[in-house]
Amino acid sequence: MELSNTTQYAIRMLSYIANSHGKLQNAKELSTILTIPYKFLTKILTQLVKSEFIISIRGREGGYKLAKPASEIMVLDILNQFGDIVKENQCILGIGTCDSENKCSLHDQWVIPKEMMIKMFAQTSLENLEGDEFKI
């Protein structure tokens, strides 16, 4: 019941980039600051560029910055991008899809916590994660 390493890394990178308010950040520094293996980090950054969370400036003095305002990038979007799915009708026991008509034995207990989780991820943007008091 955890986010994948890739998703965790992606959120932390985006969060840090958001906190730089437009100043370009390069992969080498991000790797050092966030203690994420350089080569793995660049791989994820490239995915984030392709999925249009960030834009990259190539060449010397290049780096990365957000492609849109931090307030418009929701944590749920990041989860979806990296396959860490939390869907409304997802069955917690993996028996197809679940709803009130056709449910697994854990469905009723799972409804409320699931709703809260989804709501939280859907309503939280990178802007909400800004601040210097947090671990990075």
Partner DNA sequence: TCTTAATACTACCTTTTAGTAGTATTTAAT
Partner DNA sequence: ATTAAATACTACTAAAAGGTAGTATTAAGA
Interaction between residue 6 and DNA (CB under 7 A): yes
Residue 75 interface partner, choices a second copy, DNA, none, CB cut-off 5-8 Å depending on type: a second copy
* Nearest residue to 86 via CA among 54, 50, 52, 110: 110
Q: Which of 35, 52, 62, 88 binds DNA (CB under 7 A)?
A: 62
Shortest Å distance, C-beta 14 to a second copy: 10
Q: Are 114 and 59 in contact (CB under 8 A)?
A: no
Closer residue to DNA (CB): 47 or 124? 47
Q: Which of 56, 81, 124, 128 binds DNA (CB under 7 A)?
A: 56
Q: Are 75 and 11 in contact (CB under 8 A)?
A: yes
Q: Looking at residues 86 to 125 of the shown chain, list those that interact with DNA (rule: CB under 7 A).
A: none
Tokens at residue 107, please? Answer: 């469905």
Backbone angles phi, psi at 6, to 5 degrees: -60, -45
Taken in order 14, 16, 18, 22, the sign of the CA dihedral is negative
Q: Which residues contact DNA by CB under 7 A?
A: 4-6, 9, 25-28, 37-40, 42-43, 45-46, 49-50, 56-64, 83
